Amino acid sequence: MTAAYTKPLPQVTREMAPFWEAARRHQLVVQRCRGCGAHRFPARDLCSRCLSREAEWAPVSGRGAVFSYAVMHQVYHPGFAAEVPYAVVVIELEEGARLVSNLVGCPVGAIAIGMPVEAVFEDVTPEVTLPKFRPRARR
Amino acid sequence: MTHPLSGATAIVGLGITPQGRVYGNTPLGFAVDAVQLALADAGLERGDLDGLLLNPGLAWADMGMGSFQLQQAMGLRDLRLSATMHLGGLLLNPGLAWADMGMGSFQLQQAMGLRDLRLSATMHLGGATACAMIQHAAQAIAAGLCTTVACVFSDAPLKPPKPEGERSSSGSAYGFVRGWEAAYGYFGVNAMYALVARRHMHRYGTTQDHLGAVAVAQRRWANLSPAAQMHEQPLTLEDYHRSRWIVEPFHLFDCCLVSNGGLAVIVTGRERAREARKPPVYIRGMAQGHLGGDPSDTLSSGAVLSREPAFRMAGLTLRDVDVVELYDCYTFTVLVTLEDYGFCPKGEGGPFAAEHVTGPGGRLAVNTGGGQLSSFYMWGMTPVSEGVIQVRGEGGRRQAAKHDVALVSGNGGVLSTHSTLILAREPS
């Protein structure tokens, strides 16, 4: 990193801390319900399928596909001023959970729903790593 | 058998303050103005009110006590129903909002020293709150709990332009940051809806032209309504496509306006309604529907749940509807809601709108005042007010020829909450 990071950093809540700790190790984890095995994201106290309160953080493949995307043209935070238009994407992991993220190595105009992606990790500060996604070849 | 609620109550007063870039008034001031206008419209006095329901917008300083503030400001006495019907936490910083709003009606009771209440509720229904307030009022009146209720919304999120000519952004009024998602540049309700709209486009083939058709149709209605903020600004499909992007797939004209102002309606029982100054607008049918789950999966509004009980209560069918006033935070919401009431098959809201059937002269009059996209944004009160205007026959150049029955919808969150009202010229 040459310049100071100017975008907002994630609010690391107690519930989400394991996600960010894993990201620093370049590992993608999501919650998995101990009751029914469903993967979910972000962290929740309760499984909305089986109502179990037991969950663990489970490593996932990092593979998934673009579920939806929105191209942001307004600057809501000065850290993004140089990036508009940029895309916010929802990634549906192979394991089932959906994450809001960004794509790297993919121009906004090339994004399509169903596009296969895989996780990458951006160390944006010494303390914070953001999981993001890049296009991958379809298997 | 007729439902006991059907036609038991009516809207007899409508008050709409100046709307839009109107400065120099507070949210409370707008609310007072709106109630006074509604009372005058009804031919009623302040002392006739015994119920007050308020849905405060974002700019209210103390939202937990909004209806009490309004009561005090207007010197209202001996109310039998008072509640602040809160907007959903979605548009607010939840840390700020939930602590105060979770038991708002109880806080209000304690703060006002009220004893032995028989009805108390805190509603968090976002844009569905307006219709829900009227439902709540109608139920309480029909049950004999009170007689005449003012239902009020007001807000003043817009600030005057800076003297040095610096633009004050209306978009920022409803912008917010949510936790970790800000790290990815995910801000604002526009983006939340855009993600759902993109799924609808993907699954059903909805196009940018389809969204644009809604914006154009509603602007044509607004061009017929002097009260609309966009009254004097025509819009073609080409203009729509040329307008700046906000969040793709939403152009500027896919998104509702932001307005300062207030809007109130007076609800009373059938007997008193007959003595009102204006023709009563009877509340014939009502229902709510809240789907739950991920709107990106359902791609539906709660109209799929609320339509059947509302029409059954009213003793009417979709074919009886003369004017349709749908909650339109976005063009997309209109397409979805048209589908979910059954005006067209699921997924075909886009092609339906693109047939230009919903604009002036079309076969289905939808959002006849221009809606929240082109007239003004008083959350769900905008479609309510236009439903009242149309059923009364006060629509001027935009008046529907046949106006016996109006369908009105409210929608809050991201297709999260839904309320339906069926308004009619006759009580049965």
What's the whole-model pTM score?
A: 0.87
A5 reaches B (C-beta below 8 A): no
Q: Mapping DSSP to helix (H, G, I), strand (E, B) and coil, where does residue A108 land? A: helix
More confident residue, B259 or A49: B259
Q: Does B167 touch chain A (CB under 8 A)?
A: no
CB contact A78 to B (< 8 Å)? no
Segment A16-45 mean pLDDT: 94
Q: Helices B129-142 and B381-392 meet at what angle, rounded to 10?
A: 60
Overall size of chain A counted in residues: 139
Size of interface A-B (CB pairs under 8 A): 92
d(CA A16, CA B385): 44
**Å between B268 CA and nearest CA of chain A:** 41
From the list B377, B378, B400, B374, the residue with the least C-alpha distance to B387 is B400
Q: Where do we find the tokens 């007076």?
A: B266
Binary contact (B296, A90; C-beta < 8 A) = yes
pLDDT of B174 reads 44
- Residue ranges of chain B whose pLDDT lies below 50: 87-105, 107-109, 111-112, 114-120, 165-177
User: What residues in B contact A98, CB-CB < 8 Å?
Assistant: 294
> Does the beta carbon of A59 lie under 8 angstroms from any beta carbon of chain B?
no
Predicted local confidence at residue B380, as pLDDT: 92
Residue A14, pLDDT score: 87
Residue B80: the pLDDT is 63
Q: Do B198 and A113 touch (CB under 8 A)?
A: yes
Greater confidence (A13 vs A23) lies with A23
Considering only residues B413 and A124, tell me which one the structure prediction assigns the higher pLDDT: A124
Contact between B81 and B146 under an 8 Å Cβ cutoff? The reply is yes
Beta bridge partners of A72: A86, B247
* Cβ separation B180–A101 shorter than 8 A: no
Return the residue matching tokens 């289905």: B364
Q: What is the value of ipTM here, to two decimals?
A: 0.96
Helix (H) or strand (E) holding B81: strand B81-84
In chain B, where are the structural domains located? 9-159+258-280
Which residues in chain B are closer than 8 Å to A74, comparing Cβ atoms? 171, 175, 187-188, 190, 246-247
Q: Work out the average pLDDT over A107-128.
A: 96
Residue of B nearest to A5 (CA): B183
Rounded distance between C-alpha atoms, residue B149 and residue B152, angstroms = 10
> In terms of CA atoms, which chain A residue is nearest residue B188?
A76
User: What was the pLDDT predicted at B364?
Assistant: 97
B9-159+258-280: CATH class: alpha beta
Q: Rounded distance, CA B70 to CA B15, Å?
A: 15
Neighbour tally for B209: CB within 10 Å = 15
Q: What stretches of chain A adopt beta strand conformation (E)?
A: 29-33, 39-40, 55-59, 63-72, 86-93, 98-101, 116-123, 129-135
Tokens of B121: 């509720």
Q: Taking all residues of chain A, what is their mean pLDDT, rounded to a whole number?
A: 93
- Search chain B and give the residue with CA nearest A66: B199
| Chain B interface disruption, residue of A86, A88, A130, most B CBs within 10 A | A88
User: How far apart are alpha carbons B140 and B202 in whole angstroms?
Assistant: 44
Instruction: Verify whether the Cβ–Cβ distance A85 to B248 is below 8 Å.
Output: yes
Higher pLDDT: B258 or A11? It is B258
Q: Which residue of A has its CA nearest to B182?
A: A8
Q: So what's the pLDDT on residue B66?
A: 64
